[in-house]
Amino acid sequence: HEGVVATVKEAGRSIHEIPREE
Amino acid sequence: EGALGYVREFTRHSSDVLGNLNELRLRGILTDVTLLVGGQPLRAHKAVLIACSGFFYSIFRGRAGVGVDVLSLPGGPEARGFAPLLDFMYTSRLRLSPATAPAVLAAATYLQMEHVVQACHRFIQASYEP
């Protein structure tokens, strides 16, 4: 698997948050 | 050894992307089609519509779909079922009540959203049970 040894879960946000409409 | 590594799976990525797409919709950013439902305009992204609905897939998939800027959907009593479906596409949450479920069912049938159709049927059936 091309050197991949583990899958690590990231529970936090993955991308920036678009500001909510006011 | 240096080639060994990890896959980091961001478990909430799909919902983060969907949440941002919904905010773009609400702010009218990069929306590329207006759905006219009973004269009421609903702005949306074709890419989201085509990903969620067999009807929109058949409308937008070809080159002809690029030029479609405004699309009229059926009005009448069923019209109020479309807005909850659009919200569902962008949030994964389907708001149903005994009063709205028949309209949402009709709209979902029209838009060829089979899984939502089934969910509406289950909801309506359960609401009849004591």
Smallest Cα distance from B14 to chain A, Å: 9
Contact B73, B55 (CB under 8 A): no
- Strand order from edge to edge, sheet including B33-37: B40-44, B33-37, B70-73
Three-class HEC string of B3-32: CCEEEEEECCHHHHHHHHHHHHHHHCCCCC
One-letter amino acid at A1 equals H
Q: What one-character-per-residue DSSP string does A1-22 give? A: -TTEEEEEEE-S--SPPPPPP-
B27-70 pLDDT, tens digit each? 999 999 999 998 899 999 999 999 999 999 999 998 888 899 99
The contact set of A with B (CB < 8 A) is: 2-21
ipTM for the assembly: 0.80
CB distance from B62 to chain A under 8 Å? Answer: no
Q: Which residues of A touch B4 (CB under 8 A)?
A: 3-5
pLDDT of B2 > 80? The answer is: no
